[in-house]
Each structure stands twice: as structure tokens, then as C-alpha cells.
Structure 1
């Protein structure tokens, strides 16, 4: 089904582009996005979701560090700049 094939991937691609997620990280960003909205039911699913969310947090910290050093024309860089100028 065309709607199913694009209803989640397309917005994730757009969001990752806006945030400044490098193309090589976008597949992983999609996996992490699934983890954010997941509703794990079994202990194994809970562990996997926790693992994915932990990786996501680590990646976001890494991304912010990179954007602080080398800002680009993206939302993460804009938020970092706004914070450095005293805007919260």
C-alpha cells in the first residue's frame, strides 16, 4: 500500500533533513523514531526499546556537540545559536 509505504518514512526524512541529521545517519534516525513512539509489551521488546532510546540520546548529544563546533543551516544549529544568545 502506497500510503503505508510513505506515511511514516517521508515525514521522518523531512524531519531529519530539517534537524540536520546527516544522510548516512537517517536510517538509524528512523529506527530511533520508531522506538520513541513504540509501545513495547514483552520484556524483550522493552529491553530493545530502552537500548534504542539510549542510543538515540547518545547520538543527539553527539549531534549537538558537532553542531556547536560546526553549525549548519538546520534546526539543531539554530536552537544552539538561540540558546547561546540567551533565548530559552
Structure 2
């Protein structure tokens, strides 16, 4: 509960009313961003495309991995359509 001090009251109350056996604590860590130099050098080489949360740093609680993968797929399709 000490880790949740300063959170909004409903969150503190939710944690307070939960059994310690059912809670899990995960460290949130900063993931480095792919350097732009790597992106430029890799263009046109190999056959790997990384999308979604495999490429974009985000915490697992956001639930945005699939959404960003779909957005990435749209951008990739547009880029591929321009590269005749």
C-alpha cells in the first residue's frame, strides 16, 4: 500500500481492500528508443519489420500494442505503395 500513496483515493481504496496474495508489483523501466541512425542504415536491407509494442516503448498497462501495430501497418502500407 505504501507504493500507492499519493495515487487517487479510489486507487488507494482498491489496493487497500485487496488481498496481498492477489497483488503483483512490476517495475516500470525506461526502454531506450531505437536510434534514428539505425533506422536510416537499415532501410532497404533485410526483411524484418517490427511494429506495435515490439518497437514502441510503452508500459503493459496501456493496452496499446495492437493499436500501434495497426497504425504502423497503415503507415507501412502507404510507404510501400509509394516505393515502386
More helix by share: 1
Q: Which structure has more RCO (C-alpha within 8 Å, separation ≥ 6)? A: 1
- Structure of greater Rg: 2
Q: TM-score, normalization: structure 1? A: 0.30
